[in-house]
Structure 1
C-alpha cells in the first residue's frame, strides 16, 4: 500500500498513541520510522514498529521524559529512563549542534533506552547541519563470537555521516553481525532459508534455518574482525554511557523490562579543521564514483513509501487498542 509521508507519519503516531505512548514519544518515533523508510532501511522502519508497539503495551518502553545532564562543556549525558532513544536525542539535538559548533566537538551519551532503531538516522540529521558524526549502539545479546555459542553482544552497529556540498550526506550504517536480527525473523515468517554464515543454532552449529537461528545466535561479519568491532561498540555504547552491557540487557521482544541499552555519538565541526570540507568531500565522491566506487548514503528524496498490506493491517489493529 502506498502512503505519502504525512499519512505514513500519522499512521505511526496513531498506532503509538493507541498502544500507550505519549504524543511526544509518538511523534519522535514516527519521524524516525518514516526517515528509515526514506533512507531505504525498511527493516528498521515500519517493519520494526510493532516491536515498539508491543513494548509500549507490555511496559518494556516507558513514556517518561528523558533527563539531560552536562557533566562538561563538551559532554551531553541523557538518561532515557526506559524510554526511546529517539526522544532523548531530540531533546538534546539543538544543544548538541550548538556545543559542537562552539567547541569543535561534542559527545552525546545516552543510557537506559529501548533499541535505537535506524542508527544512521542520528548521524544523518547531524550531517545535514554541517557536522561529521559517528554513532554506536548496543542491544540485547543476539550475537556469538569466537569459540562461544552463547550470544554475548547485540548486533552492535556503527554509523558515520559527513556533509556533502549540493547533495545528501554521505552515510554509512552497518551492523557488526553478519545481518540484522529482523532479517532472520522476516525470513522465518516467509519460510525462507538464510545464507550460510549468518547464524548458529542453539547447539552452536551453523544453520541456514531461520527458526533454528532465532533459538541460537547471530554471527559476526568477518569473524574476529567483526567481533572486535562489536566489542569496541559495546565499550562506547554501554561502557562510556553507563548503560546495560548486552549480556545484561533484557530482551527487546519479551518481558516488562527495558533493555536499558546505550547510544554513543560524537559530533565534530569539520570546518574548524578543514575549511571547505563539504566541497572537498563532494569532489572526492565524484572522483571515487567515476572509478566505479559505490559511495553509500546518497539517499534519494521520497514523497511516498510502499508498505506491505499485511503490515498495514497489523498496524491498524494496534490503532484499535
Structure 2
C-alpha cells in the first residue's frame, strides 16, 4: 500500500495513542518511525513500529513515563527514562545539547529505556544543528562475545554524524554484529536462509537457518575486533549510565518488563576548532565520492527522504492492517 507521509504519520499517531501512549511519547516515537521509513530503513520503520505498539500495550514500554533529566555537570545530561521510550528524554534535551556550541562538547546519557530503533536518527538531528556527534546504545543480549558461543551483548550499534555545507550530513549507523537482528528475524519470517558468518545455533555451531540463529547467538563483524567494539559500546551505553547490561536486559518483544537499556550521545561543536569545518567537510566528501568512488553514508538516506516527502512510500498491507488495529482503538 502507498501512503503519504501525512497519512502514515496520522495512522501511527492514532495507533500509538490507541496502544496507550500519551501525546508526548506518541510524538517522539512517531517522528522517529516516519523518519526511518522515509529514509528507506524499513526494518526499523513501520514494521518495527508494531514492536513498539505491542510493547506499550503489554507494559514493556510505559507510554506515560515522565523521564527525569538531571545535570551532574554543566554540559552533561543524565536521563532516567523510567521504563519509557528512549526518544522522549532525548527530545527534551536536544536543545540543551546545543550547549556544546558554548562548552565545546556536551554528553547525553540515559538508562531504563526501551530499545531506540534507528540510532542515526539521534546523531543526524544533532548534525542538523551543526554538531559532530557519536552515539552508542545497547539492548537484550543476542551477540556472542570474543571467545564465547553464548549471547552476552546486544547488536550494540553505534552512529556517527557530521554536518557538511550545502548538503546532507555524513551519517554512519551500524551494528557491532555482522547484521542487524531485525534482518535475521525478517529472514525467518520470509523462510529464507541467512549468509554464513552471521550467527551460531544453540549448540554453538555456524548456521544459515535464521530460526536456529534466533535460538543461538549472532556473530560480531570482523570477529574479535567487532566483539571488542560491542564491549566498548556496552560500557558507554550501559556502564556509564547505570542501565542494564545486555546480558541482564529482559527481551524487548515478550513479557511485561522493560529491557532497561542505555544510550550515550556525545555532541561536539567543530567550529570552535575550525570555523571552516562544514565547507571543508563538504569538499572532502565530494572528493572521496567523485574521484575515488567512496560510498558516503547519509546521502542515500537524504535522497530517499526527499522522494518520500514528494511521493510517499510503499508499506506491506499486513503492516498497515496491524497498525490500523491499534488505531481503531483510539478512534473507538
Alignment of 1:238-277 (within 5 A): 238-277=238-277
C-alpha deviation, 1:306, in angstroms: 1.6
1:160: which partner in 2?
A: 160
CA contact (8 A) 2:50 2:323 kept: yes
| C-alpha displacement of 1:39 | 2.1
Once residues 227 and 216 of structure 1 are traced to their aligned partners in structure 2, the CA distance between those partners, rounded to angstroms, is 16
CA RMSD after TM alignment = 0.9
Contact map agreement 2:146 2:228 (CA 8 A) in 1: no
Does residue 103 (structure 1) correspond to residue 111 (structure 2)? The answer is: no
Alpha-carbon distance in 2 for matches of 1:39, 1:275: 30
Name the SS for the 2:111 alignment partner.
strand
The answer for unaligned runs of 5 or more in structure 1 is none
Within 5 A, what are the aligned runs for 1:52-71?
A: 52-62=52-62, 63-71=64-72
Instruction: Report the 3-state secondary structure (helix = DSSP H, G, I; strand = E; otherwise coil) of the residue aligned with 2:160.
Output: strand
Select 1:307's aligned residue among 311, 315, 324.
315
Which sections of structure 2, spanning at least 5 residues, go unmatched? none
Deviation, 1:305, is 1.8
How far apart are 1:161 and its partner, in Å?
0.3
Deviation at 1:139, TM superposition (A): 0.4
Output the CA distance in 1 between the equivalents of 2:189 and 2:15: 22
Alignment check: 8 A CA contact 2:28 2:87 kept: yes
Where does 1:142-291 land on structure 2 (aligned, <5 Å)? Answer: 142-290=142-290, 291=292
Alignment length (residue pairs): 320
Is residue 138–residue 262 contact of structure 1 (8 Å, CA) maintained in 2?
Answer: yes
Aligned equivalent of 1:316: 324
The TM-score, its normalising length taken from structure 2, stands at: 0.95
Partner Cα separation in structure 2 for residue 228 and residue 80 of structure 1: 27
Moved over 3 A (4+): none
Q: Residue in 2 aligned with 1:91?
A: 92
Give the secondary structure class of the aligned counterpart of 2:177: coil
Q: TM-score, normalised by structure 1?
A: 0.98
Aligned to 1:72: 73
Q: CA deviation at 1:138?
A: 0.4
**Structure with more of its chain in helix, by fraction:** 2
**2-side partners of 1:166 and 1:93: how far apart?**
22
Contact 1:145 1:223 in 2 (8 A): no
